[in-house]
């Protein structure tokens, strides 16, 4: 590049070299961005045997729509990048235009495979901002733990089922989704919905568990445990599965730390980091459970960690059920200025206000009707400030950062979704392997694009 052209480039580029930096003896290099069309043109001009292809956008193994841009040398992946954004819903922005309680109905839809954890992180952050963390009733915390651990099992079952399906093991898929249906039927019994429950609310949970729930759970636990055992028999020592997963999608502990990876990927690299133990919430410090780890750093280790975690979650569920069976209690904070919606029940037509509550506010107490109206339409106020709360989701650290300006709606809500961070590992786990191994590597990350593109 001549000095004149370099000076012209520098004048048009605010980040380029200044004119006094340029002389005829100094070469000037300008690094600029580009798209994949330019990279393809460059590869063609170099006459190298490189092929750049799109894998997707597609749904399998990504629980959403993900575009993988792969550069191939024959069947070997030499470069892999992830293109996200195809499911963008603007959930975080939409939450700024709804009350603090209404925000639950948005965030539950982010990672729709683990809705309870989305709700839990958000509500814990709101409660921290309100300063009522220690006022949440013990029964509400126990129900939260019960729901989260059931949801952890359901999420891991989806990860194993879809991962097996992509490798051609349809029996793994049918067993995985069969067992997940058992859990979703319990969710429907408790919340009125199978998914996107909006059940955990600031101050507690929307409703107490209905009559018959504990018996239903006690009947379901051994069935789910048996189903997990069937998956273990199919997968753990299967030579075909091990041939597809051992040393595939390799990412060691230093790589996990560099990329901010959490969850089963991190624990499969040997580090027993789990927020339920490291920074307990919802009373997790009072439950007896272990943190499974492996040291294989590959897709096989992540599979085994998820199976082991399902067994530990069943142990926690059994402990939570025993506590709930000990006796009734409140499930929402006592402060009536926060406890909305109050007096809900799950009926044949879904969740709504209980008949007793409707009778009171419509026919017996004008004050109750006015309070109900103002609380529903305006919502409660959160003092100015900010708060961050995180939970250990099936995929890693699920964090929520809320900012309040003192109003009835969030000024800003931002989520640290583990799928977004973990998806950075696509390049590290896929490059150097074959095209077929890309599917296994991505499935072992277990990303859900609704959480990535929130």
Q: Please write the tens of the pLDDT for every residue from 82-130.
A: 888 888 889 999 999 999 999 999 999 998 899 999 999 999 999 999 9
Instruction: Say whether 413 sits in a helix, a strand or coil.
Output: strand
What lies within 8 Å, CB to CB, of 47 at 6+ separation is none
Residue pair 306/156 in contact (Cβ under 8 Å)? The answer is: yes
Residue pair 68/443 in contact (Cβ under 8 Å)? The answer is: no
Which stretches of the chain drop beneath a pLDDT of 70? 1-36, 39-40, 42-49, 59-62, 340-355, 357, 360-361, 363-365
Instruction: Say whether 454 sits in a helix, a strand or coil.
Output: coil
Give the pLDDT score at 67. 87
What lies within 8 Å, CB to CB, of 429 at 6+ separation is 249, 250, 251, 441, 442, 444, 445
Q: Please give the Cα distance from 420 to 84 (Å, whole number).
A: 9
Residue pair 356/368 in contact (Cβ under 8 Å)? The answer is: no
Give the pLDDT score at 360. 67
Give the pLDDT score at 432. 86
Q: Please give the Cα distance from 217 to 215 (Å, whole number).
A: 5
Structure tokens at 265: 């990927």
pLDDT tens by residue, 313-327: 999 999 999 999 887
Q: 25 vs 5, 8, 72, 259, CA distance in Å?
A: 14, 17, 39, 41
Q: Which domains does the chain carry?
A: 1-32 (no CATH), 113-340+379-417 (1.10.645.10)
Q: 242 vs 29, 110, 164, 237, 265, CA distance in Å?
A: 48, 32, 12, 7, 17
Give the pLDDT score at 47. 59
Cβ-count burial 214-224 (b if 16+ within 10 Å, e if not): eebbeebbeeb
Q: What percent of the chain has pLDDT over 90?
A: 47
What are φ and ψ of residue 137, in 5° steps?
-60, 145
Residue pair 428/251 in contact (Cβ under 8 Å)? The answer is: yes
Q: What is the dihedral of CA 216, 222, 228, 233, to 10 degrees?
A: -150
Q: Please give the Cα distance from 180 to 165 (Å, whole number).
A: 15
> Which pTM was predicted?
0.84
């Amino acid at each position: 590049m001549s000095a004149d052209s370099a000076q012209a480039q520098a004048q048009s580029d605010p980040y380029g070299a200044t004119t006094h930096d340029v002389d005829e003896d100094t070469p000037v290099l300008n690094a600029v961005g580009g798209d994949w069309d330019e990279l393809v043109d460059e590869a063609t001009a170099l006459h190298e045997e490189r092929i750049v292809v799109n894998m997707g956008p597609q749904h399998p193994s990504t629980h959403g729509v993900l575009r993988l841009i792969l550069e191939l040398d024959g069947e070997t992946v030499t470069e892999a990048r992830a293109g996200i954004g195809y499911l963008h819903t603007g959930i975080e922005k939409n939450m700024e235009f709804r009350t603090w309680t209404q925000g639950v109905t948005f965030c539950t839809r982010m990672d729709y495979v683990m809705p309870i954890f989305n709700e839990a992180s958000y509500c814990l952050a709101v409660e921290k901002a309100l300063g009522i963390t220690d006022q949440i009733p013990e029964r509400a915390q126990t129900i939260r733990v019960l729901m989260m651990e059931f949801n952890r099992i359901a999420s891991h079952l989806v990860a194993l089922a879809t991962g097996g399906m992509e490798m051609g093991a349809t029996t793994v898929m049918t067993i995985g989704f069969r067992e997940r249906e058992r859990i979703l039927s319990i969710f429907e019994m408790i919340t009125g919905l199978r998914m996107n429950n909006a059940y955990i609310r600031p101050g507690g949970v929307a409703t107490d568990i209905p009559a018959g729930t504990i018996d239903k759970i006690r009947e379901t636990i051994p069935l789910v445990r048996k189903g997990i055992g069937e998956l273990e028999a199919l997968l753990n020592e299967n030579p075909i599965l091990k041939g597809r997963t051992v040393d595939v999608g390799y990412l060691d502990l230093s790589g996990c730390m560099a990329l901010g990876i959490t969850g089963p990927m991190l624990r499969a690299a040997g580090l027993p980091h789990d927020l339920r133990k490291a920074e307990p919430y919802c009373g997790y410090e009072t439950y007896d459970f272990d943190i499974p780890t492996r040291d294989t750093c590959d897709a096989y280790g992540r599979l085994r960690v998820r199976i082991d975690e399902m067994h530990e979650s069943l142990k926690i569920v059994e402990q939570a059920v025993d506590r709930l069976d000990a006796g009734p209690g409140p499930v929402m904070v006592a402060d009536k200025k926060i406890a909305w919606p109050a007096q809900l029940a799950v009926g044949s037509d879904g969740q709504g206000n209980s008949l007793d509550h409707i009778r009171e506010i419509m026919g017996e107490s004008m004050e109750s009707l006015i309070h109900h109206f103002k609380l529903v339409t305006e919502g409660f106020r959160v003092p100015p400030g900010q708060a961050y709360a995180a939970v250990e989701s099936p995929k890693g650290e699920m964090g929520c950062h809320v900012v309040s300006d003192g109003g009835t709606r969030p000024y800003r809500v931002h989520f640290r979704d583990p799928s977004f961070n973990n998806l950075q590992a696509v390049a590290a786990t896929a490059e150097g392997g074959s095209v077929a191994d890309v599917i296994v590597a991505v499935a072992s990350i277990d990303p859900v694009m609704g959480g990535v593109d929130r």
